Amino acid sequence: MSHPVSNRAALVLVDVQPDFMPGGALACHEGDAIVPGISRLLERHVFQHVVATQDWHPAGHVSFASSHPGRRAFDRIPLYGHAQTLWPDHCVQETPGAALHPSIDWSGVEKVIRKGDDPRVDSYSGFRENHGPDGTRPSTELHDWLRAKNVDEIYVCGLARDVCVLWTAQDAVDLGYRTHVVWDLTRPVTPDSDIATRFRFDQLGVDTVESSSLG
C-alpha cells in the first residue's frame, strides 16, 4: 500500500556509520543491509528535507567500557542516577568508523547533527543528550532546525533500532512530531530486542512503515 509523504515531513537518518555495521566496533545485526535502501530513498527525492545524526565521541568517552576499570562492554552501571550501558569504544571522532557511511551520497542531506561529543555524557537521541551531571539538558538543535523548516512529521531510519532510533523517535513524539519509523531501514544492536522495540513504538504512537511504500 502506498504511503504519501507530506511536504512538511523530514527524513532523519540516525547514525549511519561504519562502526555500527558488520566489522565495525559496535556492529548492529545486518547493519549494512540498510545502506542500499537509504540510497534509493535519497535518489528518489521522496523527502523535502533530510537531516542526519552522527555519533561523535572523544577518546575516553564515559560510555566506553574501557573508561571504567574492571568493567566490560555491555555491562550496565549507575551514572548520574540512571543506568548507563557501557559500549566498546566506537565512533571516535575523526576515525573511519565514525564517518558518515562512505557508500551513501550525502550531498542531499541538509544538516548533520553530531552527538555524544561531551566526554561526560552519552547521547542516544538526536534531539538531546542522555541524563548528565546537570540532569537532562534540552539539546534543541535538531528541534530548532526542523521547526525552522516548518516540519511537523518525521520518518526515522538508521542505527541502532533499539537504541538511538528508539530514543530519537520517543523524543520526537514528546516534541509533538507525527513520527514514523521505516522499519526495514533500521537494524538492532540486540536482535532479541525487536519484539519489545515494536511494542514500544506501538505504545508511543510511532507508526512503523516499510520503505517500499513511501512516495
Q: What's phi and psi for 145, nearest 5 deg?
A: -65, -45
Q: Which does 118 bind (CB under 5 to 8 A by kind): Zn ion, ligand VGL, none?
A: none
Nearer to ligand VGL, 16 or 41 (CB): 16
* Angstrom distance (rounded) from CA 67 to CA 199: 33
3-state secondary structure 15-71: CCCHHHCCCCCCCCCCHHHHHHHHHHHHHCCCCCEEEEEEECECCCCCCEHHHCCCC
Q: For 52, how many CA atoms within 13 A lie in the half-sphere containing its CB?
A: 21
Judged by CB under 5 A, the stretch of 53-61, 73-81, 96-104, 203-211 that binds Zn ion is: 53-61
Q: Which residue in 175, 173, 176 sits closest to 202, CA to CA?
A: 173
CB of 91 closer than 8 Å to CB of 163:
no
Residues 10-29, interacting with ligand VGL (CB under 6 A): 15, 20
* Angstrom distance (rounded) from CA 13 to CA 209: 15
Grid cell locating 95: 576515525
The residues assigned a catalytic role are: 15, 115, 164
**DSSP structural state of residue 132:** B
Q: Which does 15 bind (CB under 5 to 8 A by kind): Zn ion, ligand VGL, none?
A: ligand VGL
Regarding 55 and contact with ligand VGL (CB under 6 A), the answer is yes
Judged by CB under 6 A, the stretch of 95-103, 145-153, 156-164, 194-202 that binds ligand VGL is: 156-164
Regarding 92 and contact with ligand VGL (CB under 6 A), the answer is no
Q: Which does 163 bind (CB under 5 to 8 A by kind): Zn ion, ligand VGL, none?
A: ligand VGL
Pairing of strands 76-79, 82-85: antiparallel
Nearer to ligand VGL, 57 or 180 (CB): 57
Regarding 162 and contact with Zn ion (CB under 5 A), the answer is no
CB of 47 closer than 8 Å to CB of 108:
no
Q: Which does 188 bind (CB under 5 to 8 A by kind): ligand VGL, Zn ion, none?
A: none
Regarding 55 and contact with Zn ion (CB under 5 A), the answer is yes
> Least CB distance from residue 100 to ligand VGL, whole Å?
13
Nearer to ligand VGL, 164 or 169 (CB): 164
Binding footprint of ligand VGL on the chain (CB under 6 A): 15, 20, 55, 87, 159-160, 163-164
Binding region for Zn ion (CB under 5 A): 55, 116
